[in-house]
Amino acid sequence: MNSRVDLRRHLLSAAVVLVALLVLAGFAGIYIYLGLYNVGADAPHSGLVYGTLDELRERSIASRARGLTPPANLDDPKRIAAGSGLYDEMCTSCHLGPGIKRTELAQGLYPAAPELARATDLSAAEQFWIIKHGVKFSAMPAWGKTHDDELIWDMVAFVRQLPKLSPERYQAIVAGAPGTHREMMEGTVERDTPSEPHKHRDGHKHNH
The 10s digit of each residue's pLDDT in 91-123 is: 999 999 999 999 999 999 999 999 999 999 999
For the structural domain made of 47-206, what CATH number should be given?
1.10.760.10
Task: Identify the CA nearest to 177 among candidates 46, 63, 85.
Answer: 85
* Confidence at 132, pLDDT banded by 50, 70, 90: very high
The widest CA-to-CA distance across the chain, in whole angstroms, is 90
Please tell me the distance from the alpha carbon of residue 197 to that of residue 49, in angstroms, as a whole number.
Answer: 47
Task: Identify the CA nearest to 154 among candidates 105, 64, 89.
Answer: 89
* Confidence at 42, pLDDT banded by 50, 70, 90: very high
Task: Identify the CA nearest to 86 among candidates 183, 169, 164.
Answer: 183
Please tell me the distance from the alpha carbon of residue 191 to that of residue 52, in angstroms, as a whole number.
Answer: 43
φ, ψ of residue 206 to 5 degrees: the values are -120, 125
pLDDT at 130: 98
Please tell me the distance from the alpha carbon of residue 97 to that of residue 165, in angstroms, as a whole number.
Answer: 9
pTM of the model as a whole: 0.80
Residues 6+ apart with CB under 8 A from 124: 70, 74, 156, 160
Please tell me the distance from the alpha carbon of residue 35 to that of residue 22, in angstroms, as a whole number.
Answer: 20
